[in-house]
Protein backbone atom coordinates (compact mmCIF):
# COMPACT_ATOMS: atom_id res chain seq x y z
CA UNK A 1 0.00 0.00 0.00
CA UNK A 2 1.45 3.35 -0.95
CA UNK A 3 1.52 6.20 1.50
CA UNK A 4 -0.60 9.28 0.71
CA UNK A 5 1.84 12.10 -0.02
CA UNK A 6 -0.82 14.73 0.54
CA UNK A 7 -1.25 13.56 4.14
CA UNK A 8 2.53 13.34 4.62
CA UNK A 9 2.84 16.96 3.44
CA UNK A 10 0.09 18.07 5.83
CA UNK A 11 1.94 16.38 8.71
CA UNK A 12 5.27 17.91 7.69
CA UNK A 13 3.75 21.38 7.63
CA UNK A 14 2.02 20.84 10.98
CA UNK A 15 5.34 19.78 12.58
CA UNK A 16 7.25 22.77 11.22
CA UNK A 17 7.37 25.51 13.88
CA UNK A 18 5.87 28.87 13.00
CA UNK A 19 9.12 30.63 13.88
CA UNK A 20 11.17 28.55 11.40
CA UNK A 21 12.76 31.07 9.04
CA UNK A 22 12.05 29.08 5.85
CA UNK A 23 8.52 27.95 6.72
CA UNK A 24 6.90 30.27 4.17
CA UNK A 25 9.07 28.96 1.31
CA UNK A 26 8.72 25.35 2.45
CA UNK A 27 4.94 25.73 2.60
CA UNK A 28 4.80 27.24 -0.91
CA UNK A 29 6.92 24.44 -2.34
CA UNK A 30 5.03 21.64 -0.60
CA UNK A 31 1.58 23.05 -1.35
CA UNK A 32 2.55 23.15 -5.02
CA UNK A 33 3.66 19.51 -4.88
CA UNK A 34 0.49 18.52 -3.03
CA UNK A 35 -1.78 20.21 -5.55
CA UNK A 36 -0.15 18.53 -8.53
CA UNK A 37 0.04 15.18 -6.70
CA UNK A 38 -3.71 15.08 -6.21
CA UNK A 39 -4.34 15.27 -9.95
CA UNK A 40 -1.48 13.13 -11.27
CA UNK A 41 -1.76 9.72 -12.78
CA UNK A 42 -0.52 7.09 -10.32
CA UNK A 43 2.51 6.25 -12.46
CA UNK A 44 3.67 9.89 -12.32
CA UNK A 45 3.42 10.30 -8.55
CA UNK A 46 7.04 9.31 -8.01
CA UNK A 47 8.03 12.75 -9.30
CA UNK A 48 6.01 14.35 -6.50
CA UNK A 49 8.00 12.38 -3.92
CA UNK A 50 11.20 13.59 -5.58
CA UNK A 51 10.02 17.22 -5.55
CA UNK A 52 9.06 16.87 -1.87
CA UNK A 53 12.50 15.48 -1.09
CA UNK A 54 14.15 18.37 -2.91
CA UNK A 55 12.03 20.94 -1.05
CA UNK A 56 12.90 19.37 2.30
CA UNK A 57 16.60 19.34 1.47
CA UNK A 58 16.50 22.94 0.23
CA UNK A 59 14.45 24.52 3.00
CA UNK A 60 14.90 22.22 6.00
CA UNK A 61 18.32 20.66 5.41
CA UNK A 62 19.90 18.11 7.72
CA UNK A 63 18.15 17.26 11.00
CA UNK A 64 21.20 18.51 13.02
CA UNK A 65 19.74 17.20 16.26
CA UNK A 66 16.55 19.25 16.05
CA UNK A 67 13.57 17.17 17.20
CA UNK A 68 11.00 18.42 14.68
CA UNK A 69 13.47 18.00 11.81
CA UNK A 70 14.20 14.41 12.88
CA UNK A 71 10.47 13.69 13.04
CA UNK A 72 9.93 15.11 9.55
CA UNK A 73 12.84 13.09 8.18
CA UNK A 74 11.57 9.92 9.86
CA UNK A 75 8.03 10.34 8.55
CA UNK A 76 9.21 11.14 5.03
CA UNK A 77 11.64 8.18 5.03
CA UNK A 78 8.90 5.88 6.41
CA UNK A 79 10.89 5.20 9.59
CA UNK A 80 8.13 6.75 11.69
CA UNK A 81 4.53 5.74 11.03
CA UNK A 82 2.67 8.76 9.67
CA UNK A 83 -0.60 7.29 10.96
CA UNK A 84 0.46 8.26 14.50
CA UNK A 85 0.26 11.93 13.46
CA UNK A 86 -3.04 11.98 11.57
CA UNK A 87 -5.08 12.70 14.69
CA UNK A 88 -2.98 15.82 15.36
CA UNK A 89 -3.95 17.48 12.08
CA UNK A 90 -6.41 20.32 12.36
Full residue range of the structural domain in which residue 27 is found: 5-88
Distances from the Cα of 8 to the Cα of 30, 50, 72, 75, angstroms: 10, 13, 9, 7
Q: What is the pTM of this model?
A: 0.90
pLDDT in tens, the chain (90 residues): 588 999 999 999 999 999 999 999 999 999 999 999 999 998 888 999 999 999 999 999 988 889 999 999 999 999 999 998 888 775
Count of domains observed in the chain: 1
Separation CA 39–CA 74 (nearest Å): 26
Amino acid sequence: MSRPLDKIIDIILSLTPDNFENKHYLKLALESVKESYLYQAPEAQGMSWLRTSQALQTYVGDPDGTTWKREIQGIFANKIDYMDYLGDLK
